Amino acid sequence: MKKFKFSINGNPYESAVISVEDNVAEVEINGTIYKVEVDKELKTATKTPKLVRPKAVPDTDFQPSVAKTSSPEGPKGAGTIKSPLPGVIIEMFVKEGDSVTRGQKLLVLEAMKMENNIESDKAGKIISVKKGKGDSVMEGDLLIEIGD
């Protein structure tokens, strides 16, 4: 309730705005209640601040995804197996010098509490193993090199 003190032609008045609904205000002046109709619609002031946030833009791809090895149609030669996502290597099935076939399971990567089988997508011989059992890897880290 808002209270006001004012004078008209030297006469003091005390007033209070009791309520405002649409364009009708209930006003008390010197103890007498009046209903006052206003020409335009009154808007009550809100004390709740309006939260303004900038438009959210997802930032999911800060680094582009990369293929695990060279494409099967591409030129033959050394290929690399890269980590498809961050995690920990929990089991290795190959070592340097082993021959592998396309689709053979090379290692198991635990990521987000799930085990992911990493398989070879080309046939050849393991040239080098860059990471081992228990190693933490990030997305795109080089794990294994496969050659002819």
pLDDT in tens, 104-120: 999 999 998 899 999 98
Residue 100 lies inside a defined structural domain of this protein: yes
Please report whether residue 106 resides in a domain. Answer: yes
Q: What is the CATH number for 106?
A: 2.40.50.100
Give the pLDDT mean for 92-96. Answer: 93
DSSP E strands: which ranges in 32-123?
Answer: 32-37, 79-82, 87-92, 99-100, 105-111, 114-119
Q: Is the pTM of this model over 0.75?
A: no
β-strand partners of 129: 144
12 domain-assigned: yes
**Are residues 114 and 120 in contact, defined by beta-carbon separation less than 8 angstroms?**
no
Domain, as residue range, for 18: 2-37
Mean pLDDT, range 124-147, rounded to an integer: 91
Spatial CA neighbour of 36 closest among 50, 23, 49, 51: 23
Query: Domain count of the chain?
Result: 2
Q: Which residue has the higher pLDDT, 1 or 7?
A: 7
First-last CA distance in the chain:
87
